[in-house]
Structure 1
Amino acid sequence: MTIDIARAPKQGSWQRQRGEPSLLDVYRSIPVSARATPWRKFLTFLGPGYLVAVGYMDPGNWATALAGGAQFGYTLLVVALISNIMAIILQSLCARLAIATGRDLAQACRDAYPRWVSWSLWIFAELAICATDLAEVIGTAIGLNLLFGIPLEIGVLITALDVFVVLWLQNKGFRWIEAFIITLLIVIALCFSIQIALADPDWGQVIRGFAPTTDIITNPNMLYLALGIIGATVMPHNLFLHSGIVQTRAFGQSLPEKRNALKYATLDTTVALMFALIINAAILILAAATFHKAGQSAVTELGRAHELLAPLLGASIAPSLFAIALLCCGFNSTVTATMAGQIVMEGFIDIKLPAWLRRLVTRLVAIVPAIVVTILYGEGQTGKLLVLSQVVLSFQLPFAVVPLVMFTASRKKMGELVAPRWLTASAVVIAAVIIVLNVKLLLDFAFG
């Protein structure tokens, strides 16, 4: 496919305008008909939101949700809800940035900031992707181990095959990637529906779990897990990913066409992330209704959770459903994180590499530390490492969120599609909450 770079959107004012779009092989590859019905337009924009939603239910999220449910019952459900609201607001800003300017977040940072600032932000973004990939690679390896008995070290290496899966699917068209991801999400939902039915949770306690409590702030252990849930839900790499893949749609360049594209892209994201909230809540509810209820408050390992499900639920199928859902989550997440790594690498430092090499380099960045961690610590400590990786993500969030809010609030850069003041104010509050919680966590752990 040939892309006319000259036709790429150039709305707004930036310090520099250089480089080709990220994910050039699928850039504007899905046509949007101006005469289509609203339903057909919704279906045309359906997809990117679900690729983003994958990052909100990855294996690292499983570890934090399992630990939170096992230790504190249904209390942290409110954190999952708040995190999801944060995610919807921030991801809507990503879609707005991409549609208004034709840039993903990484390109916007490269063009707007001096080189030393953009390269610093690139390093932080890569660290976040390393933490993400570490969680996803280990989670996928654990899923392979639970289902097929494959050693973790071998399972970590097998995750490298996602490079070839992405290439094969992308050669068939970006819609194939979206269909593949959505299919696995449906499998995950079915697995958890059956497990929740078997667990028979206290639905009154579930509803009360969505009410806020001050214990989350005053209890350092609960705050640690709450931050982990925020880090696992509002993930830095998802902000870069979404602002890149929204541009796979070939919407028009006029202001009405862009407004229309923004409406349907936001709707796609909102529906997809509400689906992600259901899955996240299901993981925590399952842990609360089984492990916390049985006094197994120390369950943080995915393997340990797998072992306990059968005796606690009294159904031999429960562990298999858990492992199948975990494997689907892990594989989905490694695919989308690899794409996010490509967007970050191309956007920030404008490196031109063959598609297979770009993805292989991104995957190796995760595989090497995952193998080292697995060999040094073994399966017994992987759950704690997964939770820690999510807290690391939470610390990285401000370096992606603050530029995003600044760009989308600037009429000079966004033109008529500048974010409304209420939306900017909400995003500022989100950024402030994340930063304050991070400082509080540091002080609690530094001074006991």
Structure 2
Amino acid sequence: MGSAKITSAIKEMAKALGPGLITGASDDDPSGIATYSQAGAQTGLATLWTALLTFPLMAAIQGMCARIGLVTGRGLTLTIREHYPKGLLYGVLLMSFPAITLNIGANIEGMAAVANMIFPAVPVPAFCLCITAVLIAAIIAFPYRKIANILKWLCLSLLLYMAVPFMMDQDWVAVARNAFIPTIALNKDFILILVAIFGTTISPYLFFWQATMEAEDAAHGRQDPALGRRSLADMRKDVNAGMLLSNLVMFFIILTAGSVLYPAGIRRIDTVAQAAAALEPLTGRLTYLIFAAGVLGTGFLSIPVLAGSQSYMLAETFGWKTGLDKKFHKARLFYISIIFSLAVSVGLDFFGISAIQALLYTAVCYGLTAPVMVAVVLHIGSNRKIMGENTNSMLSNALGAIALIIMSAAAFALLYFLFF
């Protein structure tokens, strides 16, 4: 293949990448990085296999959400509002909003803590305020297309994590064994780590964001309005690429923590700052800086997705004008809800709610809403009245059913260990 053909293929692939890539990359936010770091520190390499399991499940669920957005031209909230009881929609909103708000707060606090470690002269609260101000200004000032392009570039920050394990000696036979042969320890700590991993990777807010962004792209002519084969094929490439990137990063973070922190006897990581600080004396300043830079990049990538998905849900429920492509005065309530969400989230950092507390509460809310949302997405994707000829394939339904079983089991396990 000549250089011209290679360049053309790369350009075609880049055009196909969009909402799916951003959705997958935003799943590896600072709170997710803390979860994966804790998994590696606590269990070594024993949870590496989860990355291989969650990839097809995430790809199937997010693919359904993307197809719903493309076919209906509407977000998931609006589709639920029109075809399902309002009690279901309000129930999902009530559970999702606290989880998303706490998640944003935990991410801002994690980013600020890492920035403070690099520039200790600036206190953490000051970084929290600065990060929040930058995010609000960017979301209001830039239209969706520009935000999407910025987010695409921030996805590159995730590649930093994939380089770290190759900077140290590895027992690749042990890595392969733990990746392909599942290990499950029937004790509270291990089960809770599994619950946290599944809850972090299959998060309901990503369902809403994926469907809405596909609908926005279709409205802007990025996808073929007639939904031809190429449009659906591009969507599948996009979603699969995003989910693959997400799971690769998850794999390498667990690998890094499992091969560095676990042998050193470091068993508890509550924040991304702790993970970065623990790596420095063991692997050197360069690894520490790579880890810290990745946290900042993924934070700026994920928080607009979190805040945007929450505001789209609220706007579509109450019929407000929506769109990150609109000017502030044309979608005032939509943007005010984003500002309010970020303000409340950063406020948590000033009221003594630690990042680990926020993550615990977030896991509870996500763990309870995820099975319901997976079931709803499965039902919508198989409903011919809504989807026409573009219903789920047998493979998608099978993978979705497995995800539903796993998330339901995770919810029951979470409740059991929290209350008993």
Residue 194 (structure 2) aligned to one of 222, 226, 241: 226
CA distance in 2, matches of 1:196, 1:384: 29
**Counterpart for residue 421 of structure 1:** 394
**Counterpart for residue 4 of structure 2:** none
Amino acid at match of 1:317: L
| Superposition pairs of residues 210-225 of structure 1, within 5 angstroms | 210-213=179-182, 215-216=184-185, 218-225=186-193
Amino acid at match of 2:385: K
CA separation of 1:241/1:392 partners in 2, compared to 1, >3 Å: closer, same or farther?
Answer: same
CA separation of 1:204/1:359 partners in 2, compared to 1, >3 Å: closer, same or farther?
Answer: farther
CA distance in 2, matches of 1:336, 1:52: 8
CA distance in 2, matches of 1:356, 1:388: 30
Q: CA deviation at 1:208?
A: 1.8
**Counterpart for residue 376 of structure 1:** 352
Asked if 1 retains the 8 angstrom alpha-carbon contact of 2:279 and 2:287, the reply is yes
State the TM-score, normalized to the length of structure 1. Answer: 0.82
Residue 109 (structure 1) aligned to one of 65, 80, 85: 80
CA distance in 1, matches of 2:391, 2:311: 27
Deviates more, 1:421-430 or 1:49-58: 421-430
| Superposition pairs of residues 28-67 of structure 1, within 5 angstroms | 42-67=13-38
State the TM-score, normalized to the length of structure 2. Answer: 0.87
Q: CA deviation at 1:259?
A: 3.7
CA distance in 2, matches of 1:232, 1:343: 21
Contiguous gaps of at least 5 residues in structure 2:
1-7, 323-327
Residue 126 (structure 2) aligned to one of 154, 168, 183: 154
Amino acid at match of 2:362: S
CA separation of 1:221/1:358 partners in 2, compared to 1, >3 Å: closer, same or farther?
Answer: same
Residue 358 (structure 1) aligned to one of 319, 330, 334: 334
CA separation of 1:409/1:193 partners in 2, compared to 1, >3 Å: closer, same or farther?
Answer: closer
Q: CA deviation at 1:253?
A: 4.0
**Counterpart for residue 285 of structure 2:** 316
Asked if 2 retains the 8 angstrom alpha-carbon contact of 1:97 and 1:414, the reply is yes
CA distance in 2, matches of 1:138, 1:98: 32
Deviates more, 1:382-391 or 1:415-424: 382-391
> Does 2:259 align with 1:286?
no
Asked if 2 retains the 8 angstrom alpha-carbon contact of 1:106 and 1:344, the reply is yes
CA distance in 1, matches of 2:99, 2:358: 14
**Counterpart for residue 92 of structure 1:** 63
**Counterpart for residue 142 of structure 1:** 113
Residue 329 (structure 1) aligned to one of 285, 289, 298: 298
Asked if 1 retains the 8 angstrom alpha-carbon contact of 2:75 and 2:211, the reply is yes
> Does 2:101 align with 1:126?
no
CA separation of 1:391/1:286 partners in 2, compared to 1, >3 Å: closer, same or farther?
Answer: farther
Amino acid at match of 1:157: L
> Does 2:246 align with 1:270?
no
**Counterpart for residue 344 of structure 1:** 313
Contiguous gaps of at least 5 residues in structure 1:
1-36
Q: CA deviation at 1:346?
A: 1.8
| Superposition pairs of residues 238-257 of structure 1, within 5 angstroms | 238-247=206-215, 248-249=217-218, 250=221, 251-254=223-226, 257=227
CA separation of 1:411/1:193 partners in 2, compared to 1, >3 Å: closer, same or farther?
Answer: closer
Asked if 1 retains the 8 angstrom alpha-carbon contact of 2:68 and 2:387, the reply is yes
CA distance in 2, matches of 1:331, 1:253: 31
Number of aligned positions between the proteins: 400
> Does 2:409 align with 1:436?
yes
**Counterpart for residue 151 of structure 2:** 181
Amino acid at match of 2:38: A
Q: CA deviation at 1:423?
A: 1.7
Deviations 1:80-105 (A, max 9, x none): 32222211110100111112222211
CA distance in 1, matches of 2:94, 2:419: 25
Q: CA deviation at 1:193?
A: 4.0
CA distance in 1, matches of 2:361, 2:37: 14
Residue 277 (structure 2) aligned to one of 290, 307, 313: 307
CA distance in 1, matches of 2:119, 2:362: 26
Amino acid at match of 1:209: N
Residue 408 (structure 1) aligned to one of 375, 381, 391: 381
CA distance in 2, matches of 1:304, 1:38: 41
> Does 2:174 align with 1:205?
yes
Asked if 2 retains the 8 angstrom alpha-carbon contact of 1:64 and 1:229, the reply is yes
Asked if 1 retains the 8 angstrom alpha-carbon contact of 2:103 and 2:359, the reply is no
Asked if 2 retains the 8 angstrom alpha-carbon contact of 1:134 and 1:367, the reply is no
Secondary structure of the corresponding residue to residue 320 of structure 2: coil
Aligned CA RMSD, in angstroms, stands at 2.4
CA distance in 1, matches of 2:338, 2:51: 29
Amino acid at match of 1:50: L
Amino acid at match of 1:228: A
Q: Percent identity?
A: 21
**Counterpart for residue 12 of structure 1:** none
Deviations 1:73-132 (A, max 9, x none): 011111232222211110100111112222211111111123333222222232332233
Q: CA deviation at 1:373?
A: 4.5
Asked if 1 retains the 8 angstrom alpha-carbon contact of 2:112 and 2:128, the reply is yes
